Structure 1
Amino acid sequence: MFSFSRSPYMTALFSFGVFLLFIFLQNTVIYTSLQTVFSTGGLCACKKCVMDLNDDDWFFMRFNPTVPALLNRRNSAMRSDVFTWWKGLQSDPKKANFSDVVDVLFSLFPDEEHHVVTDPNRCRTCAVVGNSGNILGSHYGQLIDSHNFVIRINKGPTKGYETDVGSKTTHRIMYPESAVDLDNSTHLVLLPFKIKDMLWLISVFTTKHVTSTYTRVRPSINAVREKVMIIHPAFIKYVYESWLRKHGSYPSTGFITLIFALHICDQVSVFGFGAKRDGNWHHYFDNSLAHFSRGLHRGDYESRTIHELLLMDKIALHKGV
């Protein structure tokens, strides 16, 4: 007669079932707790908060408020899988020790938890301004500047384009190859794809000896040391795995910026993303065409994810012209 106790297959099946039940119950507890903590009206004073997790499982399964968005000394110890993935993003022959680099970073730049304090009386509005040509002729400038935070990406200029893109910049996300000068009111937010990006940042404010990565980069830029922030490598991996489901090789700067805004803002408005109405993709400050759905970033999947956020009322998307 067949005996359950003598069957290794049934024992393994039973063990696997117990494991799945544990995971399900664990996620249920976490979900219930998050719903209680981040319920509408409990986290911020906006009519609707980004962090309201009562809406839909689609958002809950992607959004993880425990992932550090910005690097500091206390959260710099990365799991081996995170560190290996991050180092594999781009070839980096520089054999710098990461912990040594962190020590230098936070002897120079603010070593703090940026933008993590929540207040039920706060309604922090943020404009994420992309570089799409669809923003030309939009006259969004005044609307963009009305937000508490205005987050710009890479080299997107404001001078000469104020009517459409505004003039205010509180944060600019960049990496060495896209670096530009900043005014004294703007936070430099480094998006590090490799250790050498962090070494470049150190060099900018000290010796100015780093002049190339995989291409020539600016050895110096105008920026305020006290306003420097650094995106956490674990956050890049989180965006890639949780939000893009590993489509492409790694997320685009624009998409990382959008998810970053979801983590530090109460309401997020998005400008300058997507193609023009004629279907062409190019920057508002040049006319070189881009093939958005191809290449490393799988922009088509990023676009679908942004559309889902719009449908769920997590963002306001201003499509331009």
Structure 2
Amino acid sequence: MKRPFRPLFSLLLLIVIVSTLSSRTVFRQSFSYLQLDNHVSLEPSVRESNSTLLQFAAIDVNEAHDKKEIEQLLEGNFGSSGRYRSFSSWQHSNYLNIRTRASTGRLSFQLRSPKYYKIWLEFRKSLRDWSRNKWFQPDIMLDLIDLVKRPIDRHSGLPDSNGRYASCAVVGNSGILLKTEYGELIDSHDIVIRLNNARTEGFQRNVGSKTNISFVNSHILHRCARREGCFCHPYGEKVPMVMYICQPVHLIDYTVCNASHKAPLLITDARFDILCARMVKYYSAKRFAEETGKSLDEWALVHDANQFHYSSGMQAIMLALGTCDRVSIFGFGKSAQATHHYHTNQKAELHLHDYEAEYAFYHDLVERPQVIPFLPDKFKVPSVVIHN
């Protein structure tokens, strides 16, 4: 008598299972969307239309490789990849006499003096501290006062304050500055941020002479620090420096230069680096999709996803957004007649940057900051003016 009820029971059980699985799928999708939404401050219509771009920008194609590289460096292995060729200069420099075994590439730790062994220990500590923060946390924008402004203010003898600088000028290095006379206007700002050791001598009328913060990428410091007697701080040893790390091995250069610097030499938080990387990738992918109509997979081929990176200028502007009430941008742009840098004859742009995408980001800062992705809801974009 019970057998006729089995098909009905089985059918009901199947309906319950399917319903449960469907509910779980919807829940997962909703939860995934909410996770994304927690990190993005966008108008609802913009958020919905750009969800694919947001997810694409969040992918770090180098994450596994970078993690392995850091682990190898912490173990003393500098010879297993072409990424470490920069260390060969250290082997023969007057700073360190570090030998590597040809077979393994592992350091033999034969250092000339305790001073150099101390440099090795400090390098490992800096690398550990920096690498611990390699994760996405957009709220890092709310911490820039503590991480950057306060150490600089203490060095300058200014009172401790939660407030921002009243006005900041971020001076780019574009050759378009040679057709301007912004020098006096630039120097009128409370804080002047200059990029990658660009010299001011002979260009004061165009770019001013005042420097409060020197912002550099670690390649700049590396090229300087590996030469004996090189002056690591061209604006003066008392001018604070802020640097982002291009290759983890460059933290050795930071350790050496920091010993001779009488002002803060600050490394940007890796969470800040990741935020900048996502934003630039988003704007680049968005521009590519709109202009070409091609898939995002093709963007990766055109822009060499493994090498693609934000420019020093973009991150310096992001730094100013978190520490200044008013941000003025100078020397960001190009023309067919202008050199890439006002202080050199270089014409070509670096292929690992998408400058047009970064320009689009700067204009959104001025005209519609509400559409900029990945910024936390609590963060208020300050007043931004672009001087071309």
The structure 2 residue matched to 1:190, chosen from 221, 243, 246, is 243
Q: What is residue 268 of structure 1 aligned with on the other side? A: 327
Q: What is residue 317 of structure 1 aligned with on the other side? A: 386
Indicate the SS of the match to 2:149: coil
Indicate the SS of the match to 1:190: strand
Within 1, Cα distance between the matches of 2:254 and 2:182?
32
CA 1:102–1:177 in 2, change beyond 3 Å: closer, same or farther? closer
1:1-321 mapped onto 2 (5 Å cutoff): 3-7=14-18, 10-22=19-31, 84=67, 91-92=83-84, 100-102=124-126, 113-115=147-149, 119=162, 123-179=165-221, 180-206=233-259, 224-245=261-282, 248=303, 249-276=308-335, 278=336, 280-291=338-349, 295-312=351-368, 314-319=383-388
Q: What is residue 136 of structure 2 aligned with on the other side? A: none
In the alignment, is the contact (CA less than 8 A) between 2:219 and 2:246 conserved in 1?
no
How far the C-alpha of 1:224 sits from its partner, in A, is 3.1
CA 1:104–1:56 in 2, change beyond 3 Å: closer, same or farther? closer
How far the C-alpha of 1:318 sits from its partner, in A, is 0.3
In the alignment, is the contact (CA less than 8 A) between 2:170 and 2:327 conserved in 1?
yes
User: For residues 179-205 of structure 1, what are the alpha-carbon distances to aligned partners after superposition, in whole Å with 9 as ceiling and x for unaligned?
Assistant: 452324411212211222110121234
Larger radius of gyration: 2
Count of residue pairs brought into register by the alignment: 250
Q: CA RMSD in A?
A: 3.8
In the alignment, is the contact (CA less than 8 A) between 1:126 and 1:147 conserved in 2?
yes
Unaligned regions of 5+ residues in structure 1, if any? 32-52, 62-79, 107-111, 207-222
In the alignment, is the contact (CA less than 8 A) between 1:240 and 1:251 conserved in 2?
yes
Within 2, Cα distance between the matches of 1:193 and 1:308?
26
Indicate the SS of the match to 1:201: helix
In the alignment, is the contact (CA less than 8 A) between 1:87 and 1:194 conserved in 2?
no
How far the C-alpha of 1:275 sits from its partner, in A, is 0.3
TM-score (ref. length: structure 2) = 0.54
How far the C-alpha of 1:232 sits from its partner, in A, is 2.0
Letter matched to residue 4 of structure 1: I
CA 1:14–1:149 in 2, change beyond 3 Å: closer, same or farther? same
Letter matched to residue 5 of structure 1: V
Within 1, Cα distance between the matches of 2:330 and 2:162?
26
In the alignment, is the contact (CA less than 8 A) between 1:86 and 1:194 conserved in 2?
no
Identity rate of aligned residues, in percent?
23
Deviates more, 1:184-193 or 1:21-30: 21-30
Letter matched to residue 231 of structure 1: T
Unaligned regions of 5+ residues in structure 2, if any? 1-10, 51-62, 72-81, 88-105, 107-119, 131-145, 151-159, 222-232, 286-302, 370-382
How far the C-alpha of 1:171 sits from its partner, in A, is 0.8
